[in-house]
Chains A and B, each alone.
Chain A
Amino acid sequence: MIRAAKAMVRCLEKEGIKVVFGYPGAAICPFYDELYSSDIKHVLVRHEANAGHAASGAARITGKPAVCIATSGPGATNLLTAIATAYADSIPLICITGQVSTDQIGCDVFQEVDITGAAEPFVKYSYLIKDAKRLPEIFREAFYLAGTGRKGPVLIDVPVDVQNEMIDFSYPEEVKMRTYKPTVKGNPVQIKKICEAIEASEKPLICAGGGVFLADAKDELLKFAEKSGVPAVSTMMGLSLFPSDHPIYLGMLGMHGVKSANRAVNECDTMILIGARVGDRAVRSPSFLSQSKQIIHIDIDPAEIGKNIPVDIPLVGDCKSILAEMSEKITERDRSEWLNEVRAIKNDIAINEETEGFINPKAFLRKLSDRMPADTICVADVGQNQIWCCNNYAFKESGRFLTTGGMGTMGYSVPCAVGAKMAAPEREVVAVCGDGSFQMQMMELATIMQEKIAVKIIIMRNNKLGMVRELQTNGYGDRQIAVALDGSPDFVALAKAYGIESDRVTTMAEAEEKIEKLAASDKPYLLECNVYKLESTL
């Protein structure tokens, strides 16, 4: 017999977990006490939301569920934003929370909150463990649920007395769930139908989303696109599936996307949506699209098909095997005429004349991507800085872009970068954020120092909540309210206060040299970039 808290740690070990992100408190102490004698590394974040975001970064790089931990009550509620963020982007997380003792549940005791209830709208599933004997089975199930089908966060709430019970430990080999059977294999008849439809079409277009990453199907997608000759656009979550300079790739579509991509969406006759859910930021009027085009939708989640856009040919399944099969079946074809038609559209992203004392963020990010190693992981926060990144950072084939497309949660980039770097210490990880969003996560500088996590942070300092400022300028008669960030500190000095190397760049003339210093450092590094306050997003 072992203590259930020890069983929790053993479950994580059985799942191959090497690092967890968390923040302790009384209700989760038995678990931490057992973690003490485990080889699992615990990273102490400085706010529970960041434990969730860091786990998200790790999960997205390893492709497996990652673990975050919080105590009951305020610890658990602090985690909520990260859970919702992961849910919106289908990121597999195991979120473990401590809970008050079972005999006290419902009595509104100190630090009691109904966290499974609160998180219900944005978890894939949740458990409140009342019977310690079921703990190993529940952990096994939770990992299975989080990491299969349409991935997502799973919450396990464990009362402190349950953690202290003694149980027989054996980790189940398989999961027995009569209710949950994700469809993984695509229907061959539909696959054939899709291939025929593509072959019969003159102007087909691939629209690839984050689901392709989740299915680990990047190579299969590239192969299919190359063989079929079908041009491709991506959603924000699908950025870096294609190298930015790939001949068939046209960029990001949607509200903040590039002209060539949006023109291709308008001009195509057949749209092949793969692992993309037709979110409103990507496709503003889906009904318009479906009226004039044949829509093919491939997704692991049946509920996504037909939800936002009427579909002509639906296909449910794992897009890795589906794309592999489609590549086999499709005839090789040169579609350069159609490709050239959309390629001819120039993405003249406005790079303003240089303003005295400021860098141009778009040109700067291009330079940054030129200098960073090909396999760099680039994490963008939310706001103008994010869109500048999306449209200007040039991804190479082994590169990876991470951001929160579904929720657009400010404060995601630095903790996500921390998690990504823990998962891939050999790769460079750069977090690009705004001066507003940085101030929602700057407490993580301490985590970075404590664990010597060599992430590179770039702050686009425009002294504004720039994206909202732009919205107020364009949509509300430039009546700017609550967007000035005048009280912000000197970020270079702030980083130094933590002992983190830092620098500032204020002109494009010095950009290359400053980027070089950042890239050459093997330690955590922060670079503050002065950006003109009226710089435009697109």
Chain B
Amino acid sequence: MKHTISVLVENHAGVLSRVSGLFSRRGFNIDSLAVGETNDPTLSRITIVADGDEHTAQQLEKQLNKLVDTVKVRTFSPDELLTRELQLIKVSAAPNQRSEIMTICEIMNAKIIDMTTNTLTVEICDSPVHLHRMHDLLEGYGIKEIVRTGVIAIQKGSATIK
């Protein structure tokens, strides 16, 4: 099962390596990890998507909490969250395939941000499910490269992590 964990940590040197070191050391499998400064510049927020059973998720939360730099850890269930990931996808596109791909992008709410004679580069920012569907749609043309930011998540409604 996939778990999404939000962690607030002190925004200083060495913190990210402590967090990532913890994962490898404890044998946790991480799908993605995204990190950035928050509205309070002394804090960073890390969003982790991890795979594992209930016990693993609990241990992950406890071990993260145990790190001295950790301010707060929250594990969310999918229906509490709005999730987004930004991806840049370079796809093969012969001139006669361009308009098809453009239609897909339009429907899928993606943007074409670069083009050569035989490639298109697509920017898409959406939920993991939607992105998955986009991959399926582009697969047939030949995906040459994907760069992704990792999932970030925020609670629905007015609730905040603090």
Is A116 interfacial (CB-CB < 8 Å)?
A: yes
Once A302-B62, A303-B59, A303-B63 are accepted as A-B contacts, the answer to whether A120 and B68 lie under 8 Å apart by CB is no
Interface residues as binary, A439-450 with B (CB distance below 8 Å gives 1, 0 otherwise)? 000000000000
Q: Residues of A contacting B55 with CB < 8 Å?
A: 306
Q: Which residue of the partner chain B has the closest CB to A304?
A: B62
Cα separation A19 to B63 with both chains bound (whole Å): 34
CB neighbours of B69 from chain A (8 A)? 179
Across-interface contacts of B10 in A (CB, < 8 A): 179
A125 and B68 contact, CB distance less than 8 A = yes
With the chains together, A125 CA to B18 CA distance in Å? 10
Known: A117-B17, A120-B21, A179-B70. A302 touches B58 (CB 8 A): no
Question: Is A301 an interface position by the 8 A CB rule?
Answer: yes
In angstroms, Cα B43 to Cα A511, docked, is 65
* Cross-chain contact of B68 among A121, A124, A303 (Cβ < 8 A): A124
Query: Does A14 sit at the interface, judged by CB under 8 A?
Result: no
**Contact yes or no, A121 B25, CB < 8 A:** yes
B65 at the interface (CB under 8 A from A): yes
Question: A residues within 8 A CB of B131?
Answer: none
Cβ contacts under 8 Å, B62 to chain A: 302-303, 306-307
Q: How far is the CB of B16 from chain A (nearest CB, A)?
A: 12
Taking CB atoms and an 8 Å cut-off, the chain A residues in 100-130 that contact chain B are 116-117, 120-121, 124-126, 128
Q: How many residues of B contact A (CB 8 A)?
A: 18
Q: Which of B56-94 contact A (CB under 8 A)?
A: 58-59, 62-63, 65-66, 68-71
Q: What's the tally of chain A residues with a CB closer than 8 Å to chain B? A: 18
**Taking the complex as formed, is A178 at the interface, i.e. its CB lies under 8 A from any CB of chain B?**
yes
Is A121 in contact with B70, judged by CB distance below 8 angstroms? no
The B interface is mostly helix, strand or loop, or mixed, namely helix
B65 touches A302 (CB 8 A): yes
> Which chain A residue has the least Cβ–Cβ distance from B42?
A178
Q: Which residue on B lies nearest to A302, using beta carbons?
A: B62
Q: A116 CA to B55 CA in the complex, in Å? A: 30
Residue B14, interface by CB 8 Å: yes
Whether A476 is near chain B, meaning CB under 8 Å from some CB there, is no
Cα distance, A361 to B59, chains bound together (Å) = 43
Q: How far is the CB of B8 from chain A (nearest CB, A)?
A: 9
Query: In the complex, what residues of B have CB within 8 A of residue A179's CB?
Result: 9-10, 68-71
Return chain A residues, CB-CB under 8 Å to B68. 124-125, 145, 177, 179-180
Distance from B106 Cβ to chain A, minimum over Cβ atoms (Å)? 46
Which residue of chain A has its CB nearest to the CB of B67?
A179
| Residues of B32-65 contacting chain A, CB below 8 A | 55, 58-59, 62-63, 65
| Residues in B whose Cβ lies below 8 Å from that of A306 | 55, 58-59, 62
CA separation between A175 and B63, bound complex, in Å?
Answer: 23
Binary interface profile of A, 280-309, with partner B (CB < 8 Å = 1, else 0)?
A: 000000000000000000000111001100
- In the bound complex, what is the Cα–Cα distance between A179 and B65 (angstroms)? 9
Chain A, 109-159, CB within 8 A of any chain B CB: 116-117, 120-121, 124-126, 128, 145
List 15 A-B residue pairs with CB atoms under 8 Å apart, sorted by A's residue number.
A120-B21, A124-B68, A125-B68, A177-B68, A178-B71, A179-B10, A179-B70, A302-B65, A303-B59, A303-B62, A303-B65, A306-B55, A306-B59, A306-B62, A307-B62
Other than the given A120-B21, A303-B62, A306-B55, 8 more pairs (CB < 8 A) read: A120-B17, A121-B21, A179-B9, A302-B65, A302-B66, A303-B63, A306-B59, A307-B59
**5 nearest A-B residue pairs (beta carbon):** A303-B62, A125-B68, A303-B66, A179-B71, A180-B68
